[in-house]
Amino acid sequence: MAFAGHVGVALNVDLLVTEGDGISDSRAEYGDAKNWAGQVGARREELTLKALFNEELGVVLQVRTAERNEVMQVLRTHGLSKFSHFVGKTRPADSTIDVGKGEVQVWRDAKSVFSAKLQDLHQVWDSVSWKICQQRDNPACADSEHAAAGDPADPGLHVFVPATPPAAPFVSTARPKVAILREQGVNSHVEMAYAFTEAGFDAVDVHMTDLQSGRHDLAAFRGVVACGGFSYGDTLGAGIGWARSITFNPVLSQQFQSFFGRGDTFGLGVCNGCQMFAELADIIPGAQAGRASPPTAANASRRAGDGRSAGVAQPVLAGMAGSRLPIAVAHGEGYPDFTQRGDEAAVLRAMRYVDNHGQPTERYPFNPNGGAGGLTAVTTPDGRFTALMPHPERVFRNIQMSWTSGDPSAHSPWMQIWRNARRWVG
């Protein structure tokens, strides 16, 4: 808990080592009882270790001091007071108490029996995982991640949204159709459909076989979304195989070109869909100039990880400039590769990974793909077609976020993407 919260803790184990230990605690002020602590010291040391490394079922709760009695009353009501003890206090960085900041302390019999810096303990705790990652993944990224473990200067994960309030949900009762496009192996279409429906769209499940057989035609839609997942199990070059099912089919190729060429349409490609959009750049107006090889190169870390991102683009990212938001990342191949084709300078960056200080970074674990400047999303000059590797559709509610101070039952700031799209459609 101290590692996750970046806070020091001061633990008092007196109650844990006294309960049921068979040691009388008379503390009498006469005779040998004056040396009680010394007489039973070895036994107390043994019980301290048993208490701290107890493998029995239990729960540690952190509660506000002002609510402590109320919590205990609830436990008493359920017959749990006998098994409940106050075991310590936190020492956050902004605490008014200087002693113990950034440390883990263990107190017993009014004495400190253990004290160590939180950073040192975190480094030791992470060392086994670090050594495994050095052998299994990119050693440089493993070293970077280990160095960040317990960094006292790290402000931690946070949510920042500019002071400008987001646009209200669009009030029109019309529900424009958006094609929730998927292929074999795609697994994020349900979340994506839900988010679009919440924003006022008529989300239609469209499998590629529906387009190939003529059951659906993109001419009937205002938006198309290529969802994330593992199309064809990523065995055909991530999203490249998906794109080839379009470019190698004259009917589908013309249908997509017509859709992209209309001025009243928009498109969003996420994860595998981002890779698919990148491969279709030649038929997406405005995408050709900054075209890169599809982001199918393995992440520099050789792993998929969590991320924080910020973005600016129309129509889906309008009003979100400067935002710093946690986002779900699940791609093992997302490095933006410009070595084979494309002009990195011409790419219109829509989103980038940032560290916990809000600075664009290539450093793992803040940037799982290793792209220069944190690049993880691109868009066309008019913003109608945007491709991104992380998954905003998996965090459009606060309760889905890695961490947030917002109302858990409310939409997260990421919901602005779908509301922007609905407002743009009109």
Top mean-pLDDT range of 23-37, 68-82, 221-235, 315-329: 68-82
The pLDDT confidence band at residue 311, using thresholds 50, 70 and 90, is: very low
- The residue among 96 and 13 whose pLDDT is bigger is 13
Output the pLDDT for position 98: 57
Q: Residue 83 pLDDT more than 90?
A: no
The pLDDT confidence band at residue 1, using thresholds 50, 70 and 90, is: confident
Q: Residue 38 pLDDT more than 80?
A: no
Please state whether beta strands 375-379 and 385-388 pair in parallel, antiparallel, or not at all (unpaired). antiparallel
- The residue among 293 and 201 whose pLDDT is bigger is 201
- The residue among 309 and 378 whose pLDDT is bigger is 378
Output the pLDDT for position 268: 96
pLDDT, tens only, 222-258: 999 999 888 877 777 778 889 999 999 999 999 999 9
- The residue among 204 and 160 whose pLDDT is bigger is 204
Burial 181-210 (b: 16+ CB within 10 A, else e): bbbeebebbebbbbbbebbbbebbebbbeb
The pLDDT confidence band at residue 95, using thresholds 50, 70 and 90, is: low
Output the pLDDT for position 209: 96
E-strand spans in 161-265? Answer: 177-182, 202-207, 223-226
pLDDT, tens only, 392-408: 999 999 999 887 888 99
200-213 mean pLDDT: 96
Whole-number Å distance between alpha carbons of 379 and 385: 6
Output the pLDDT for position 297: 57
Length of the chain: 426
Output the pLDDT for position 210: 97
In sequence order, what are the beta bridge partners of 11? 88, 106
Output the pLDDT for position 273: 93
pTM over 0.85: no
Distance (Å) of CA 91 to CA 5, 36, 48: 11, 31, 22
3-class DSSP assignment, residue 261: helix
Output the pLDDT for position 170: 58
Residue at 257: amino acid letter: Q
270-297 mean pLDDT: 78
**Mean pLDDT (the chain, rounded):** 84
How many C-beta neighbours within 10 Å does residue 120 have?
Answer: 12
Q: Could you list the active site residues?
A: 271, 391, 393
Domain ranges of the chain: 2-116, 177-425
- The residue among 184 and 340 whose pLDDT is bigger is 184
The pLDDT confidence band at residue 36, using thresholds 50, 70 and 90, is: low
Whole-number Å distance between alpha carbons of 227 and 236: 17
The CATH number of 177-425, from 3.10.20.70, 3.40.50.880, 3.60.15.10, 3.40.50.720, is 3.40.50.880
